[in-house]
Structure 1
Amino acid sequence: MVEEGLLKEKLGDSLEAKISEKQKAFSGLLTREGALKLIALDEGVAQQGNAKANDILPLAQALSQNDAFASVLVRVKQVYCAREFDKEGRKGKVCNVAVGDSSGEGKLVLWNSDVDFAERKLERNSCVKAEGLAVKNGELHSNLFSSLSLETAPFGLPDYGTATVKLSDVGEGRDFYARVSSKGVMREFERNGDKGNVLNLVVEDDSGQKTLVCWGRNAVIANFLKEGDVLKAEGIALKNGELHASWMTHLIAHAKKHNLKELEFKPFASLAANETAFVQATLEKLFEARVSRKCLSCGGVFDGEKEKCDCGGSVRETFFITTQAKDEAGRQMRMVFFEDQARELIGLKRTFVSPQTIFGLKREFLEGKTLKMKALAQQRNGGALELVVKQIRSHS
């Protein structure tokens, strides 16, 4: 290898240490030859032949440049679900992307931080400019020196676009947009010595509802979604009447290019007792922030710092904030935020400062703010409705 000889002349005995350092940076996944190539680029002694590493090559030609570096402009055919791994104590992520141009098709393998680019920005038929890729065994691999960007006006690339379908018409491998109706809790499982995650969603469009079971990294992505958010699933799998976001599925959170009906925010006047709905309201007055203490056995409510009730039952503390809000029509209603929603409202992080102190500091700032929320309408003892906030979508 020409680079190795040149590097030995330039670096002497320090070359082996640099090779080890470079391999560690790639979590042990970089071969000796690959490390030498990267060091050669660092030291300015790389042998690139007739093409420079940042010259855009036809995909077929780039794939033939084994143990070299290449840059391509390609269209995305399919993004596969990323995998997390732990190799000798080093954790990482890898994602395979099927790509093509007019010269043929191939595989783009994205590692670690480049996986975030795939999960957040890529979808079927995206156009990607990828520079400084390492060519290995007929595949293009990202590395510390690669750069990835989206291109908006490509010329001469194949069209991999696929029409999305409604949930009622979903078949194996199809793509769809849907809105999250409800979200379960992400659970960890172990299979054949490997750990993974699974999370169930109920998704809907105007044709109906379906259960969507999300696995692995797709479960992690789905866990960032809130009820009411829109997702896109590419390459869905079917099993026992359920939709599965499997290793072949690319899940896109907060998808934009959809034609789903806009989320409906109901006015206070149209709410019925025990109805859960999305509402938009302005906080007129924040009354108080309190911590209630209730016995889990007898249901008694009491003050003080006792850890046990007189009946011997355990005590549960609940933090809540009471407010008065009005909707766009000017109708007023009492609104209560409990626990996670109360903490989110005042931006309470892990701190030694009491919630009541934070509430006092934030009260004036929050009064007058408009929030979009999911809330449950409950009937109070006097017959009037109050809203119990289940989710804060946004505030301004």
Structure 2
Amino acid sequence: MPKLMDANSIIKLIVAKTGRSEVDVRGLIEDKKEKFAGLLKDDGAAYMVARELGVDVDEEKKGILIGDLVKGMRNLTLTARVLHVYAPKKFEKGERKGRYCKVLLGDATGQIMLTLWNDDIEKLGKIECGSVVTVKNCNVGEFNGKLSLTLGFNGEVVLAEGIDESVLPKSKHISARLADLADGMQNVDVFARVLHVSEMREFERDGEKAVVVRFEVADGTARLQAVAWRNLAEKASKLYAGELVKIEGADVKKGLNGLELHLGSRARIIERPVAPFEIPGLEEITGKKFSRKKISELKAGLENIEVVGEISGILKGNLLYNFCPQCKKKASGSTCEDCGAQTRQRAVVSLQVDDGSGSISCSLFGKAAEVALQMSTIEIANKLKEVGAENLIAELKKRIIGRTIIVRGNTSQRMINPEEIEIIGSDALLLRHKEEIENLLKILSEMNP
């Protein structure tokens, strides 16, 4: 592990780089120590003076140790292991709104929390728990009586290179395949493929409203339900079938239908990670293959087809209907007339889709409707209360007409006009160009082995 340069070495470097006298530099160091009321040692004070004078001490070494940090230090570089990444949270204080994400770092001398604010969260990228990182241009502050780090101007978090990891603490996360999970396991990390994402649901606990999303994952060894709570629910709701994810910091609990992964405030979802082992594709796991067709090729009675086209219209409708989760069918009111269960509101929309060869009506329900409209059922319900269905559809037309969408499902005759056919959609995806290019390359490779 790299060590902090001693004060004498830093002084010589400052003199060489700036042309200042040694007496002048030592005076600046003593002033800095006095400012920190004796809490700062010669090495740390010399390091701070060097940075303030624009002397890049990091050219000579890779950073300061956590145990040498003192409140007020600025523009530091340190190297440590990522011990845990907490789920990003939203905050609202007065007129200020934003997000923050906490990252626990550790080296041979201690641990410290790095807080990333707003756009800085994206600088974490796909860095995983257990990775060794170098944090550049960070500042030392204090929160709840403990030292903490934030990124300064142009600060960044990057994977470290050439570091002796043997002296760094290990992450306490447990990496496992889905088939190896057991009830009660905590801080579990898994790689898996998303099979299905349910609609976001709202619930109330201790007088507070929150949201939850269920989604199914598989890795070739097992399939199970994952449950994302509160802050992670919004991210989970945007996952799509077939996407590869890494779930970090989940807890394993026994649900009604087997084991479940629960993603709370300590969990995290990383999209499109590099998995250490091969995970089967969606078609192999589900045994269902969708055949891509031109709209002009469609006829009634086709199953498991998909079309790619632009949204050219939204048909009139209520956008929501009552759905019984027990009977799995439409209900007329808040209580199911068949089983007596409480119904839920579910999104529904009929889109006109055009692929250049023709145009077709697509009826989408639940999550598929949410994806197409880019609104959750909760958001649709709230907006309907404000403006009504007609005005909301007018707003949606401005936002989504012209977007490219993939619709999967079966074809049938339209009830209102049997001479026309429609797609009853089971899934909808917004076109992702990178995935489309990869699919085309795969098809070409199969054609030309």
Length-normalised TM-score, structure 2: 0.55
Identical pairs, percent: 20
- Asked whether the 8 Å contact 1:59–1:106 carries over to 2, the reply is no
Q: Equivalent residue for 2:176? A: 165
Higher helix share: 2
Q: Equivalent residue for 2:159? A: 151
Matched, 1:261 2:280: yes
2: distance between equivalents of 1:155 and 1:129?
A: 10
- Asked whether the 8 Å contact 1:62–1:71 carries over to 2, the reply is no
How far off its partner does 1:132 sit? 2.5
Q: Equivalent residue for 1:217? A: 231
- Asked whether the 8 Å contact 1:76–1:123 carries over to 2, the reply is yes
Unaligned runs of 5+ in 1: 1-35, 38-47, 298-315, 327-331, 345-349
2: distance between equivalents of 1:383 and 1:377?
A: 16
Q: 1:109 to 1:93 in 2, by over 3 A?
A: farther
2: distance between equivalents of 1:174 and 1:342?
A: 33
Query: What is the aligned counterpart of 2:262 among 244, 248, 253?
Result: 244
Query: What is the aligned counterpart of 2:212 among 181, 188, 198?
Result: 198
How far off its partner does 1:159 sit? 7.5
2: distance between equivalents of 1:73 and 1:111?
A: 16
Q: Equivalent residue for 2:245? A: 231
Q: 1:196 to 1:324 in 2, by over 3 A?
A: closer
How far off its partner does 1:393 sit? 4.1
- Aligned residues: CA RMSD: 4.6
Unaligned runs of 5+ in 2: 1-34, 37-43, 284-288, 294-299, 322-346, 375-391, 434-449
Q: 1:243 to 1:150 in 2, by over 3 A?
A: same
2: distance between equivalents of 1:168 and 1:60?
A: 38
Q: 1:383 to 1:343 in 2, by over 3 A?
A: same
Q: Equivalent residue for 1:24? A: none
How far off its partner does 1:208 sit? 2.7
Q: Bigger CA drift: 72-81 or 90-99? A: 90-99
What pairs up with 1:326-345 in 2 under 5 angstroms? Answer: 336=362
How far off its partner does 1:391 sit? 0.8
2: distance between equivalents of 1:87 and 1:337?
A: 42
How far off its partner does 1:89 sit? 5.0
Query: What is the aligned counterpart of 1:85 among 74, 88, 91?
Result: 91
- Asked whether the 8 Å contact 1:180–1:202 carries over to 2, the reply is yes
Map Cα deviations across residues 298-337 of structure 1 (whole Å, 9 max, x no partner).
xxxxxxxxxxxxxxxxxx99552154689xxxxx996736
The one-letter code of the counterpart of 2:194 is V
How far off its partner does 1:142 sit? 0.4
Matched, 1:380 2:413: yes
- Asked whether the 8 Å contact 1:109–1:139 carries over to 2, the reply is no
Q: 1:337 to 1:59 in 2, by over 3 A?
A: farther
- Asked whether the 8 Å contact 1:95–1:118 carries over to 2, the reply is no
What pairs up with 1:1-396 in 2 under 5 angstroms? Answer: 49-52=45-48, 53=51, 55=58, 56-63=62-69, 65-69=70-74, 70-101=76-107, 103-113=108-118, 116-117=121-122, 120-130=125-135, 131-136=137-142, 137-145=145-153, 147-151=155-159, 153-157=161-165, 158=168, 160=170, 164-171=175-182, 172=185, 173-192=187-206, 195-240=209-254, 241-257=259-275, 259-264=278-283, 265-267=289-291, 277=304, 279=306, 281=307, 289=313, 291-292=315-316, 319-323=350-354, 336=362, 355=397, 373=406, 375-380=408-413, 387-389=423-425, 390-394=427-431
Q: 1:246 to 1:84 in 2, by over 3 A?
A: same
1: distance between equivalents of 2:420 and 2:170?
A: 56
User: How many corresponding residue pairs?
Assistant: 308
How far off its partner does 1:213 sit? 1.1
Q: What secondary structure does 1:145 align onto?
A: strand
- Asked whether the 8 Å contact 1:66–1:138 carries over to 2, the reply is no
2: distance between equivalents of 1:206 and 1:83?
A: 32
Q: What secondary structure does 1:231 align onto?
A: strand
How far off its partner does 1:229 sit? 1.7
2: distance between equivalents of 1:292 and 1:146?
A: 50
The one-letter code of the counterpart of 1:75 is R
- Asked whether the 8 Å contact 2:314–2:393 carries over to 1, the reply is no
